[in-house]
Chain A
């Protein structure tokens, strides 16, 4: 039980560090760290499939993408970085405070989850659930992907044209 709490605290610290760090590069690395901790939690909660996806996509692919693009950009000078940090500090100093307050409140409630955990009768295979029981998810996922890609294309593709 203590281990879980320790991992959760680790997760929160990693997230805070990601948001508060000075340089963009470090925050991208922070993102990878957060997803790593998340995969550990998922493994502990015995859902290997989700953990594998989390590890490969969120911990692997996305941070690589971010780091490569950020490294292409022109690095900020030390002094500018300090200013950004102060500005960000001024704007987000209360985030950790807020998290603590909400945590305290929720603990006060002492929600006693006295419900019996209904074990899923048959560990249905993800594949047949996706295909037979809920095909709508597939359509939904496809539309989301397409919408996201299309949105990025519309907003940023022709911006290059404007530059030159």
Chain B
């Protein structure tokens, strides 16, 4: 719609506008009630419109910024355009939601400005065609991550630091990976890079992959998300871990697997990816099952859904990749939807721990309905979007190896079970007296939930539309010619998913009967023989790589300090003692009676004469 002249301007506008607006938001005095929320909402809306307008074009441009390969080059092509628009869409919804939610909380201005900075940097990272520029925007997010979590409250800075350190460390790995890749390919322009995934290339791939999966929050680097869930303000959880991080992380993962390294289907790296995806999937959802807090449960689910996407992309098969990408956008939609429901519950009841919730369905019907839709779509029930993307992933996974399919299936079983438990504990069951007076949350919070629920349904029914969006991406790297993939859901797989869901319902009913109410529905799994040991250890953070790394680091730096003290000992103690002992030896030899001096003199004289004469 916009001719090419305006395209460079619009691209820079998408990145620059939110950044400038964020500075503006900080300046607005706190007295004017919710102006900040409105400003961020409008800015997000404007960038959304711009990106929708320029959606169709396939365009890239660059101008030099610094030498040595770091120049600003942005590229708009279907995949990056889609991600940018999706990100802006979520930004609009979350800012709308948080106008009401963040009202009256201190540091509100800071929250909105960080939100806008995140939006700007994400669109910058996605549009960047130069790896270094991507790195620049990517690590910029670190700064904002810390800010947004720390805004949450007094003690929020601990989990903010944890998040910052984990992301900082993995970003540094990614930086060295990028530099290695740039060195091997002699250029940092992504579109021009293609490297063999062997030897140094493999090392580069692994390093970059660490950065990508840690940003998307998968297994080894996930531990900051559950802590942040309690500490950080809820819109942050809905926006960043819920949507944005998944978008960028998986976008970048696909770019390196498809464009830069062109992973072959059976290669070790893709198997590695699939294993990471599978394990994340399984462990995270098992942890989610036993959670007693609405937000922590959702945050663990966010981690497990990433497992699906990584599994999908890891298969390096067209259907798998498209399944993964489709699952990415679906998950973004229903995950942020679920978080928003949690937000409205928290807004009304003031708490998100399941013990104090119950029977809210009658009091907050719309929230309950949106929760129902998003919960069903996340557990992969037929008409909703979760089902189709999971089917594609199952189809690709079963092709690669039964173990992956079994893990995926188990994962969806537990997902369904945990959401049944959550729904039962929060919305059904007996209404607690403290929640008597609550009523439905305000309109401005409900609209985003409803929109997201609608999207779940839309993408469920017209899933072929989504496939058409992702097709050109896969085509460009795989077959190179215009072939249309026709995917049809294999009836056998669909039947198995149906059985799994039924089993989940049965398990839930069994749990309710044993545990007497929705909250303890999962206790029978919790204290099963071996699993309970693992669970108790997990709760005590044994498996948290961050804690292990910190303990190791303490020991390592103690050794280093010892080395430093030894070097100091040499210069402080050893040198001083030696020189003083020699000095006092000379002083002692210096007796007071002169005959000794005389003897020295004569001996000296004898030595000199002997030397001179011979």
The chain A residues found within 8 Å of chain B, CB to CB, are: 91-92, 94, 98, 102, 105, 109, 111
Q: Shortest CB–CB separation between residue A127 and chain B, in angstroms?
A: 37
Is B529 in the interface zone, CB < 8 Å from A? no
Pick the contact of A111 from B602, B606, B613 — CB < 8 Å?
B613
Q: Shortest CB–CB separation between residue A73 and chain B, in angstroms?
A: 25
The reply to whether B613 and A92 contact each other, CB–CB distance below 8 Å, is no
A111 CA / B593 CA spacing, docked (Å): 34
If A94-B599, A109-B613, A111-B613 touch, whether A102 touches B593 (CB-CB below 8 Å) is no
The reply to whether A91 and B599 contact each other, CB–CB distance below 8 Å, is no
Q: Shortest CB–CB separation between residue A20 and chain B, in angstroms?
A: 14
The reply to whether A91 and B613 contact each other, CB–CB distance below 8 Å, is no
Is B583 in the interface zone, CB < 8 Å from A? no
The reply to whether B595 and A102 contact each other, CB–CB distance below 8 Å, is no
Q: Shortest CB–CB separation between residue A56 and chain B, in angstroms?
A: 32
Q: Shortest CB–CB separation between residue B613 and chain A, in angstroms?
A: 6
Q: Residues 250-268 of chain B: 1 if any A CB is under 8 Å from the residue's CB, otherwise 0? A: 0000000000000000000
Q: Shortest CB–CB separation between residue B404 and chain A, in angstroms?
A: 99
The reply to whether A91 and B593 contact each other, CB–CB distance below 8 Å, is yes
Q: Shortest CB–CB separation between residue A110 and chain B, in angstroms?
A: 10
Secondary structure at the B interface, as helix, strand, loop or mixed, is: helix
Ordered nearest first, which 5 A-B pairs have the shortest CB separation?
A109-B613, A91-B595, A105-B606, A98-B602, A102-B606
Chain A residues whose C-beta falls within 8 Å of the C-beta of B613 in the assembled complex? 109, 111
Chain A residues whose C-beta falls within 8 Å of the C-beta of B593 in the assembled complex? 91
Q: Shortest CB–CB separation between residue A144 and chain B, in angstroms?
A: 24
Chain B residues whose C-beta falls within 8 Å of the C-beta of A111 in the assembled complex? 613
Q: Shortest CB–CB separation between residue B611 and chain A, in angstroms?
A: 12
Closest residue of B by beta carbon distance from A99 = B602
Q: Shortest CB–CB separation between residue A134 and chain B, in angstroms?
A: 29
A111 CA / B609 CA spacing, docked (Å): 12
The reply to whether B599 and A102 contact each other, CB–CB distance below 8 Å, is no
Question: What would 14 A/B residue contacts be, using CB atoms closer than 8 Å?
Answer: A91-B593, A91-B595, A92-B595, A94-B595, A94-B599, A98-B599, A98-B602, A102-B602, A102-B606, A105-B606, A105-B610, A109-B610, A109-B613, A111-B613
A102 CA / B613 CA spacing, docked (Å): 15
A95 CA / B613 CA spacing, docked (Å): 25
Told that A94-B595, A109-B613 touch, could you supply 9 new A-B pairs with CB distance under 8 A? A91-B595, A92-B595, A94-B599, A98-B599, A98-B602, A102-B602, A105-B606, A105-B610, A109-B610
A74 CA / B593 CA spacing, docked (Å): 28
Closest residue of B by beta carbon distance from A92 = B595
Closest residue of A by beta carbon distance from B595 = A91
Closest residue of B by beta carbon distance from A93 = B595
Q: Residues 524-565 of chain B: 1 if any A CB is under 8 Å from the residue's CB, otherwise 0? A: 000000000000000000000000000000000000000000
Q: Shortest CB–CB separation between residue B351 and chain A, in angstroms?
A: 100
Chain B residues whose C-beta falls within 8 Å of the C-beta of A102 in the assembled complex? 602, 606
Chain A residues whose C-beta falls within 8 Å of the C-beta of B599 in the assembled complex? 94, 98
Chain B residues whose C-beta falls within 8 Å of the C-beta of A94 in the assembled complex? 595, 599
Chain B, 543-599, CB within 8 A of any chain A CB: 593, 595, 599
Closest residue of A by beta carbon distance from B605 = A102
Chain A residues whose C-beta falls within 8 Å of the C-beta of B610 in the assembled complex? 105, 109
Closest residue of A by beta carbon distance from B606 = A105
Q: Residues 433-465 of chain B: 1 if any A CB is under 8 Å from the residue's CB, otherwise 0? A: 000000000000000000000000000000000
A69 CA / B233 CA spacing, docked (Å): 111
Q: Shortest CB–CB separation between residue A94 and chain B, in angstroms?
A: 7
Q: Shortest CB–CB separation between residue A98 and chain B, in angstroms?
A: 6
A111 CA / B610 CA spacing, docked (Å): 11
A96 CA / B119 CA spacing, docked (Å): 103
Closest residue of B by beta carbon distance from A108 = B610
